[in-house]
Amino acid sequence: MQTRMHFIEELARLNHDVLSMGARVEEDLRKAMEAMKTQNLELAAEVKADDELVNALQLKIDDQAAILIATQQPVARDLRELVTVLKVTDNLERAGDHAVHLAKAVKRFTGEPPFRQFEALERMAQTGCTMIRGAVAAYLNHDAEEARRIAALDESIDHEHKALVKEVLELMKDRPEQIERAVKLLTTSGFLERLGDHMTNICEAVVFMVEGKHVELND
C-alpha cells in the first residue's frame, strides 16, 4: 500500500510539472503572436528566453518519469501513463520551439507594413493555444473524448494554412516584388501548422493511455 501511495504522490508531482510546462508553452505562443502584431522585439526576446525554462521542465519531467519506471516497475495503465508523459513533453517542447520560431520571425517583419494575412496567423495561433491547453487537460483528466475533440481543431489550422498558402502564392504572382516577404509569411504559417500536428500527437497518445489502442486522428 505504501508503495502504491508513493507512486500516486510522485505521479501527481510529475503531472503538476506537465501542467506548468503546457501553460508556459501556451503563454509563449500568445506572446510570440502579440510580438508579431505589435512588432515588439522585447516581447519576442522574452519568448526566446522562456524556451530555456520549457526545455528545463521537459528534462525534469522526463527524468522523474524514468525514475518511476525504473523503481516502481509499473504495469498496464500506470505504465501507459508514464510512456504518455514522455510523448506529451516531447510534443510540448517542439510546440515551444515553434513559438520561438514565430518570435524570431518578428525581427524579419519589423519596420514593414503588415500583411493582411497576419489575421489568419492570429487565428491559427489562437486555435493553437486552445489545442495546447485542451491537450494537456485531456491528458491530466484521462479524457479520451476530449482528446478527440481537441485533435479535431487541427483541421481549422490546416484550413487556414492552406487558404493562406493559396492567397500568398497569388500575391507572389501578381506582385513579384513582394516575393521575399511572402516567403517569410509562408514559413511562419508553416510553424503554426506543425504546432497543431504536435498537439494532435498528444491527443493520440492520450487515447492510447486511456483506451490502450493506437489511433490516428485527423487523417
Residue 64 in this model has a pLDDT that exceeds 80: yes
Confidence of residue 129 (pLDDT cuts 50, 70, 90): very high
The average pLDDT across 212-217 equals 89
Domain range 2-211, its CATH number among 3.90.470.10, 1.10.1270.20, 3.40.1360.10, 1.20.58.220: 1.20.58.220
The pLDDT score that the predictor gives to residue 1 is 57
Confidence of residue 178 (pLDDT cuts 50, 70, 90): confident
Burial of 94 (0-12, 13-18, 19+ CB in 10 A): middle
Give the CA distances from residue 37 to residues 32, 107, 108, 134, in Å, rounded to whole numbers and listed in that order. 9, 12, 13, 25
Determine the Cα–Cα distance for residues 214 and 200; give it in Å rounded to an integer. 13
The pLDDT score that the predictor gives to residue 170 is 84
The average pLDDT across 125-154 equals 97
The average pLDDT across 168-191 equals 83
Q: Of 16, 29, 32, which is closest to residue 198 (Cα–Cα)? A: 29
Residues 6+ apart with CB under 8 A from 38: none
CB 126 within 8 A of CB 189: no
Residue 173 in this model has a pLDDT that exceeds 90: no
Determine the Cα–Cα distance for residues 96 and 133; give it in Å rounded to an integer. 13
Residues 6+ apart with CB under 8 A from 135: 22, 88, 147, 150, 151, 199, 202, 203, 206
Which letter does DSSP use for residue 117 in this model?
T
Confidence of residue 19 (pLDDT cuts 50, 70, 90): very high
User: What does pLDDT average to over the chain?
Assistant: 90
The pLDDT score that the predictor gives to residue 149 is 97
Residue 219 in this model has a pLDDT that exceeds 80: no
The average pLDDT across 7-21 equals 93
The average pLDDT across 122-149 equals 96
Where are the domains positioned within the chain? 2-211
Determine the Cα–Cα distance for residues 42 and 135; give it in Å rounded to an integer. 29
Confidence of residue 209 (pLDDT cuts 50, 70, 90): very high
Confidence of residue 113 (pLDDT cuts 50, 70, 90): low
Residue 217 in this model has a pLDDT that exceeds 80: yes
Residue 123 in this model has a pLDDT that exceeds 80: yes
CB 14 within 8 A of CB 69: no
Of the candidate ranges 74-78, 114-118, 154-158, 196-200, the one whose mean pLDDT is the lowest = 114-118
